[in-house]
Chains A and B, each alone.
Chain A
């Protein structure tokens, strides 16, 4: 499979090797210090150092305030302001991510070790919500492919399944009057989607560890798919041979598919996906902008779906 980089990036814009390696050592030390200082409460708001990435967009960032106060994280309630109000109760330390299934080296990573041992990058991505709004978010994370390579998937592994923490006592939205989703929240990717260099596990945004409402301590970011694919507060990653179940697909199969690629020509059954509102643009007088195929990442990912009927496999 050919992975193309955006053609407008000059070699000089890419971080030199020596800076890259130095940065990694420096970062490990800094993150270690910051983590030690915040240990009793969790990982929140510890500074992270990250290399720039050629995959970042230069569009205007959505403000930190908006990115961290307007969230869908139904474990804490269905209102956009529920997560910021209620996610404080989630304990993000200690935290382990278990990797199992069809892999040569199953593993269980403590989150602080995972952060320290990964080459962090800043990835400024567009995020398009299935509800018709979008943001531009400076994530900090590392390619999912990095961790996949470490655990050595078997030839039989075709998909990657993800699972969010199941903690009703820390997640007050889980016992709503009518269950909004089947818990725990689960998501999945085809192995080639998971290996695509755009796909990252994010551990931070705006240069700091993730706030709880954004999916602390570790979450998936797949910028060419609708935001709900970006499963938050991950505790388990499994390699499987069959397409895994996904939370929203179980809730409403006719509305939310496994692929959930951003696609302006395939509407949600109840609303159009042709346009979007960019959060923070224009306030009350926000102007809709056209939604782009694969959220503008067609150059890097369209080849993953050659020959597929994206109307049927939405």
Chain B
């Protein structure tokens, strides 16, 4: 139920109006719907397949980054968006899946020999595939039943794989471009900051054991 941030449970954090989670999915899928519509109606420029493929991958990375930003936002800025994290994480997975399907079907035309050769021989494809494979168990366990079944600690341990996925995603991006264009490096820097923040924080906590664990 959509409540108000001023409710006692949400005392910590900005007084953000809460929105239904379904709205996160609806808004999150707007880029995909627009991209497919624009692709079908020839509005994606000279190389529409490549545009669609890259844009879907980029949205997957953006949602992945958004999920990683939620904890620092809460800890540093008292901004609590935790209730949307599952939706955002699943959106990252759905976009990664659409990106992969575009590669398999539209880019490679389901030419299995070419696809297998790509996976084996091309590090950026190998890394991209591995990243998607990592996201699968995370998506499958992104529900309350899985948390209950696994137990909170085991579930949290499994979901730390998202850090590996984020590194894989930016590596995949950097390896597909020529030279060192700014855009993939900016995304890499954002991921580095979000992961570095966690590393530093865990080191600081180790150094001062009396502090309450977050």
Whole-angstrom CA separation of A1 from B111 in the bound complex:
42
Q: What bracket does the count of chain A residues touching chain B fall in?
A: 35 or more
Shortest C-beta distance, B46 to chain A (Å), equals 3
Q: Is A252 a contact partner of B123 (Cβ separation < 8 A)? A: no
Known interface pairs A272-B117, A284-B39, A287-B109; A180-B179 also in contact (CB < 8 Å): yes
Q: Is A288 a contact partner of B179 (Cβ separation < 8 A)? A: no
Query: Contacts of B52 on A, CB cut-off 8 Å?
Result: 284
Is A80 at the interface (CB under 8 A from chain B)? yes
CB-defined interface of B22-60 with A at 8 Å, one 1/0 digit per residue? Answer: 000000000000000001101011111110100000000
CB-defined interface of A181-199 with B at 8 Å, one 1/0 digit per residue? Answer: 1000000000000000000
Known interface pairs A177-B182, A178-B185, A252-B179; A133-B47 also in contact (CB < 8 Å): yes
Known interface pairs A272-B114, A272-B117, A284-B40; A78-B182 also in contact (CB < 8 Å): yes
Shortest C-beta distance, B166 to chain A (Å), equals 21
In terms of DSSP, what is the predominant structure of the interface of chain A?
loop
Which of these, A69, A252, A255, A285, contacts B106 with CB under 8 Å? A285
Count A-B contacts at CB 8 Å: 80
Q: Is B179 a contact partner of A286 (Cβ separation < 8 A)? A: no
Q: Is A284 a contact partner of B114 (Cβ separation < 8 A)? A: no
Is A279 at the interface (CB under 8 A from chain B)? yes
Shortest C-beta distance, A85 to chain B (Å), equals 12
Is A81 at the interface (CB under 8 A from chain B)? yes
Minimum CB distance partner of A66 in chain B? B46
Shortest C-beta distance, A42 to chain B (Å), equals 24
Known interface pairs A283-B39, A283-B42, A288-B109; A181-B50 also in contact (CB < 8 Å): no
CB-defined interface of A104-138 with B at 8 Å, one 1/0 digit per residue? Answer: 00000000000000000000000000110100000
Binding site for A on B (CB under 8 A): 39-40, 42, 44-50, 52, 106, 108-109, 111, 114, 117-118, 121-124, 175-183, 185-186
29 CB contacts below 8 A, A to B, read: A66-B46, A70-B46, A78-B179, A78-B182, A78-B183, A80-B46, A81-B45, A133-B47, A176-B182, A177-B186, A179-B180, A180-B179, A180-B181, A251-B179, A270-B124, A270-B176, A271-B124, A272-B117, A272-B118, A272-B122, A275-B114, A279-B47, A283-B48, A284-B39, A285-B49, A286-B48, A287-B109, A288-B108, A288-B111
